[in-house]
Each structure stands twice: as structure tokens, then as C-alpha cells.
């Protein structure tokens, strides 16, 4: 199987400031947009950069780009948008390479989608697992603009026997568990790759994709855990064998008796954005709100408990804007008793999936959608 060992010289154009492609004027400006608001993100690691968004700041439907969580495995590659080419190869009928201008010629598709890292909530797993100890902030929502991969590939793109499509990012580094230099690579089954909502995104919330989120082009698989949405995309390769790379079979998997199961759609989950853990609130009406999401299913019900899970009631849920984006919910809790109270929230989606009290523990700490518990202190004013 040829998994496309790209030359790293091609991956890193140069070390100077990046260039961003300006669609409106068809020209190139000489700054790429790194917009990270590090003061308002929780930085878990600097090299490579891993940062989560404080839940209290998720007050809008769309997360502003500077505060969108970041999950990198290697250093950030600075690509020259003018020189950038996307290679399409492997078991395709027409190998070729495309420029950013070529992508812009195709019909644009805009999709509002939440991106969640599979490690979101990992720090709440007992016993602890290895990996970034995320709280609940490795999730954000943006409106992504790009082109459907199926439009890029055209009709009848694959040779018979094609089973997966592999996506390679420009970032790479030494991986000690492999003992070698590897690129960030992840594959999709053919049906998912050809779904019209699987897009190559070049804009995020109406701005050119910021460098931290994959400039100039990233894949977006809107209902899957974030790992599928390969950033700094350089190559798309059709495969006649399942991909066996590190991020496919050793990481971002649930172990099973039949071998590793690569993660796919996000599990159903709700979180509270207000009040915040430990907050002191005044006795009387207390606004409680947050967001809820799942994979490709809309959320049908969000329930709140203010007595540590003994009783539950349904809260107001905003209609879904997009099958892929979180939905905001809110309620008013009549806090009549002073003292410490435990709030819990749980979501149900249209498939009937509901959050478990405690999610099944797994070695690498993925998919922890166990119910959030949050303690607040009620004081008589
Ligand atoms: N090329 C590349 N793509 C990548 C990654 C990466 O390290 N390199 N991380 C993945 C993971 S695990 C997640 S959760 C998302 C995070 O996207 P964001 O940094 O834009 O929030 O990107 C995915 N795509
Ligand atoms: Mo992730």
C-alpha cells in the first residue's frame, strides 16, 4: 500500500511570515492571520500548542476565531498560499494537483459545525488516563466555508477496490511511539469522504482560515470528533487498503477485542456555561445556561438537576441551526435554599442516545460524555 510519503521540503514552504490568499481581490497579502487570544484561552501545552476555551466565554453561538480551542500534535506549518498545491492521488482515475484558486472556482458551501476533540472531558475520567488533561473546553463552533470534497473529486473519482481516502497535513515530527518522523494523517471511509457535507474549508467565521486552524485549507468532517478534520491539508490519496497509520490505529481509537476502532461521530453531551464551578449566586432566580451537541443528530432534550441528580426537569432548548452545530439551552432555577448545591445537566439526541452518568473508561481517555456536575453556593443577599 502506498500511503504517500510526502517530501517535507514541500510541506514547509519557508520560515518567514505566511501569506494569505485574498479571495475578493484575487491577490495575496503578506500576513497570515494568527489571531490566538492566549489571554482568554487555557493553554495546556505550548509546543505543540494545545489550548481550550473557558466554558464561561462560550456565550455566543459561534466561537470567535481567537478563542476557538486548538489541538496540535506538531509545530504549526506556515504554508505559502500562492505556492500551495493540493495533490490528489492513489487509486483515483485522475491524479492531479489543485491550487487555492482552483478550489475557489468551485461552488462554495458554508456549514455551521461544532468541532470537539475526542479528549474533551478527559480530566474527569477516574482513574486518570494519559494525554492532555482537558476540562470541558476542547470544543468550539464556527461557520466554515469551503467546497464539498465530492465536487473537488468529480464524478466517478475512484478506481474499483478503493476503500478509504487518506488526508495528509503539512505538519510532522518525531513520534516516539513509532520511532520515526511522521506526518499528521487520518483516513475516512469512501462514503464519508463523498458526503456533500465533508468539505475542504478555506474560511472560518467569514475570515481566511487562521494559521492555527489549518491555513490555507483544512478538511472538515462536521459530525465527527475533531481528529478527522485534518488541518494544513497537502494531499488526498485514495487507498485500496485500510490505512494503518499512528493516528488511525494507535491513537484516536477505542480498543476492542477485535482490534482498535477508530473514533467517528461525537457522542451526545451538554455542558453548563453559566454559572461557573464554585460560583456564589444570590438566593432567588438564577439563570442557568449552556450548550448541547451530538454527532449528526439534533438534540431533542436537555434536562437539569439542581439536587445532585435526584430530580430532573427539561430546560428551554434553541432549535438547531445546523445538524452539526451545538444548540444553546437555558432555564431559570429558583434557588430557595442557601448553601451548596450540585447542578447536573444531561442531553438526549434524536437517535435516543442519552448521556451516561459515567462514561465507559478507556485507555486513552476518549469520548468522556459523562454527565457534568457543577457545585454552586447559594447565599441569601
Ligand atoms: N494537520 C493536523 N490536523 C489536525 C490535528 C493536527 O495536529 N494536525 N489535530 C486534530 C485534532 S485531534 C483536533 S481535535 C482538531 C482540532 O482543530 P482546531 O485546532 O482547529 O480546534 O484538529 C485535528 N486536525
Ligand atoms: Mo482531538
CATH class of 269-379: mainly beta
Nearest CA residue ID for atom 2, ligand 1? 231
The pTM of the full predicted model, rounded to 2 decimals, is 0.92
- Can you list the positions of beta strands (E) in 73-163? 86-90, 96-98, 109-116, 139-148
Yes or no: say if 98 and 347 are a contact pair by the CB < 8 Å rule: no
- What are the extents of the domains in the chain? 2-262, 269-379
Q: What's the gap in Å between 286 CA and the centre of ligand 2?
A: 34
Q: What's the gap in Å between 43 CA and the centre of ligand 2?
A: 15
pLDDT in tens, the chain (381 residues): 333 333 332 322 222 333 333 333 333 333 445 689 988 999 999 999 999 999 999 999 999 999 999 999 999 999 999 999 999 999 999 999 999 999 999 999 999 999 999 999 999 998 999 999 999 999 999 999 999 999 999 999 999 999 999 999 999 999 999 999 999 999 999 999 999 999 999 999 999 999 999 999 999 999 999 999 999 999 999 999 999 999 999 999 999 999 999 999 999 999 999 999 999 999 999 999 999 999 988 999 999 999 999 999 999 999 988 999 999 999 999 999 999 999 999 999 999 999 999 999 999 999 999 999 999 999 997
Nearest CA residue ID for atom 15, ligand 1? 226
Ligand 1 site: residues with CB under 6 angstroms?
68-73, 115, 117, 169, 171, 184, 213, 226-227, 229-232
- Burial-class residue 125 by CB neighbours within 10 Å (0-12, 13-18, 19+): buried
CATH architecture of 2-262: Alpha-Beta Complex (3.90)
- Residue to mutate (ligand 1; options 8, 45, 70, 72; most atoms within 8 A of CB): 72
- Residue to mutate (ligand 1; options 35, 114, 117; most atoms within 8 A of CB): 117
Q: What's the gap in Å between 158 CA and the centre of ligand 1?
A: 26
Q: Which residues pair with 88 in a beta bridge?
A: 96, 236
Map grid coordinates 464539498 to a residue.
Answer: 148
Topology alike, domains 2-262 and 269-379: no
Amino acid at each position: 500500500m502506498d500511503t504517500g510519503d510526502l517530501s517535507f521540503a514541500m510541506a514547509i514552504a519557508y520560515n518567514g511570515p505566511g501569506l494569505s490568499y485574498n479571495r475578493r481581490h484575487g491577490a495575496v497579502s503578506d500576513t497570515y492571520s494568527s489571531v490566538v487570544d492566549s489571554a482568554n484561552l487555557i493553554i495546556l501545552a505550548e509546543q505543540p500548542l494545545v489550548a481550550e476555551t473557558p466554558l464561561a466565554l462560550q456565550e455566543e453561538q459561534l466561537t470567535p476565531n481567537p478563542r476557538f480551542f486548538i489541538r496540535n500534535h506538531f509545530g504549526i506549518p506556515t504554508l505559502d498560499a500562492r505556492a500551495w498545491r493540493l495533490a490528489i492521488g492513489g487509486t483515483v482515475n485522475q491524479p492531479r494537483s489543485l491550487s487555492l484558486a482552483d478550489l475557489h472556482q468551485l461552488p462554495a458551501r458554508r456549514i455551521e459545525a461544532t468541532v470537539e476533540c475526542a479528549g474533551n472531558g478527559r480530566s474527569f475520567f477516574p482513574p486518570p488516563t494519559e494525554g492532555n488533561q482537558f476540562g470541558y473546553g476542547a470544543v468550539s463552533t464556527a461557520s466554515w466555508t469551503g467546497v464539498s470534497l465530492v465536487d473537488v473529486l468529480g464524478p466517478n473519482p475512484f478506481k474499483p477496490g478503493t476503500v478509504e481516502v487518506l488526508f495528509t497535513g503539512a505538519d510532522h515530527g518525531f513520534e516516539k511511539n513509532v520511532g520515526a518522523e511522521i506526518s499528521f494523517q487520518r483516513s475516512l471511509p469512501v462514503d464519508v469522504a463523498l458526503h456533500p457535507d465533508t468539505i475542504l474549508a478555506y474560511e472560518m467565521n467569514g475570515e481566511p482560515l487562521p494559521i492555527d486552524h489549518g491555513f490555507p485549507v483544512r478538511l472538515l468532517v462536521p459530525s465527527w470528533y475533531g481528529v478527522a478534520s485534518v488541518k494544513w491539508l497537502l494531499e488526498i490519496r485514495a487507498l485500496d487498503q485500510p490505512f494503518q497509520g499512528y493516528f488511525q490505529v494507535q491513537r484516536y481509537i477505542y480498543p476492542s477485542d477485535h482490534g482498535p476502532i477508530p473514533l467517528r461521530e461525537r457522542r451526545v453531551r451538554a455542558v453548563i456555561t453559566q454559572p461557573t464551578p464554585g460560583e456564589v449566586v444570590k438566593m432567588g432566580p438564577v439563570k442557568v445556561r449552556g450548550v448541547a451537541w451530538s454527532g449528526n443528530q439534533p438534540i431533542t432534550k436537555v434536562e437539569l438537576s439542581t439536587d445532585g441528580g435526584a430530580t430532573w426537569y427539561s430546560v428551554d432548548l434553541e432549535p438547531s441551526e445546523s445538524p452539526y452545530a451545538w444548540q444553546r439551552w437555558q432555564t431559570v432555577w429558583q434557588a430557595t435554599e442557601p448553601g451548596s448545591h450540585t447542578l447536573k445537566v444531561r442531553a438526549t439526541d434524536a437517535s435516543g442516545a442519552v448521556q451516561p452518568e459515567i462514561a465507559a473508561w478507556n485507555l486513552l481517555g476518549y469520548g468522556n460524555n459523562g454527565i457534568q456536575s457543577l457545585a454552586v453556593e447559594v447565599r441569601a443577599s
